[in-house]
Amino acid sequence: MAYIGVQPRLGNFQACDAITTSATTTFNLLVGGTAIFPQSAQHCLVSLNGVLQAPISSYTISGSTIIFAAALTTDDSIDFITILGDTLDLGVPSDDTVGAAQIKADLISGTTALTSAPAATDEFLVSDAGVLKRVDASLVGRGKVLQVIQDTKLDRSEISVANAGTFVDISGLSVAITPSATSSKILILAFVNGSQNVGSAGGFFTLKRDSTEIFRGDAASNRQRATGNLASYSNAYINGNTPVFLDSPSSTSELTYKVSVCSDGSNTTVYINRPSSNNDNASYIAGASSIIAMEIA
């Protein structure tokens, strides 16, 4: 059979069961004894008494029934009713049949763009050597800074450290940060000004996460394990130390990072932001200390 235009290739063509006419306008539509629901009157071919009927003007469809414009009689004959199915439904494309030419150029537009940072449950599509793959957003953009928190200590203080090897927290020099994911790392940047009396080893300082020391040297006999030591070469000077450490806490609870100090055993006091001598002249510094915590995705 010849067609004007493209020959139909897809469709769900079904012939309805035979219908016995009677003096009414409405008849049930069945296929194999089961009700069928045509999409519209235009999706049906109806032959009555050998004449193909016009949709809408000659009949309409309501659910699984056909309604003729005028009541039939027992002498009428419904030759056939063929259901064409949804002619716009192309079905599922075959594997490897959809290409760039079949996808609209404006498929991704302002209406589909993200308006905020991707959530960990979002997904991206990437091409891996020509193979399309799905990537969770939690794996994208690693290494970016998610939040930065800083604390500064601008005052000068004395810390009593009576026992060698017992670390005491520096008051006013700590940061509390709550990681957004257990996979996040925390980058700690600190600047610590401190000293002990001249002639001593200078005292020591260490980085802590809550009460845990997180950045210190390995055990080495009787040596004090610490992050670094403080100045002791002159009563008039202090030593600026800059410990840097990338921590992996594997937590989403609030964490407090801080700096603690201890004595070398020769002295009982550690001085923060000032030398051990407290002379009031331009030769003696009033220093500053700080600590910064950065959450790294």
Tokens read off for 272? 């923060």
Contacts of 65 (CB under 8 A, 6+ apart): 26, 27, 28, 29
Q: Please compute the mean of the pLDDT values over residues 283-290 and round it to a whole number.
A: 88
Mean pLDDT across 82-109:
72
DSSP state for residue 225 in the 8-state scheme: P
Q: Is the model more confident about 117 or about 196?
A: 196
Domain ranges (residues) in the chain: 14-83, 145-296
Give the highest mean pLDDT range of 42-56, 85-99, 101-115.
Answer: 42-56
Residue 87 pLDDT > 70: no
- Give the CATH class of 145-296: mainly beta
Rounded-to-10 torsion of CA 59, 38, 88, 125: 150
| Rounded Cα distance, 163 and 224, in Å | 12
What backbone phi and psi angles, to 5 degrees, belong to 145?
Answer: -85, 125
Task: Say what the pLDDT of residue 231 is.
Answer: 67
pLDDT of residue 27: 96
pLDDT band at 198 (very low <50, low <70, confident <90, very high): low
What pLDDT does 148 receive?
96
Whether 9 shows a pLDDT value over 50: the answer reads no
Of 28-42, 70-84, 135-149, 265-279, where does mean pLDDT reach its minimum? 135-149
Q: What average pLDDT is seen over the chain?
A: 84
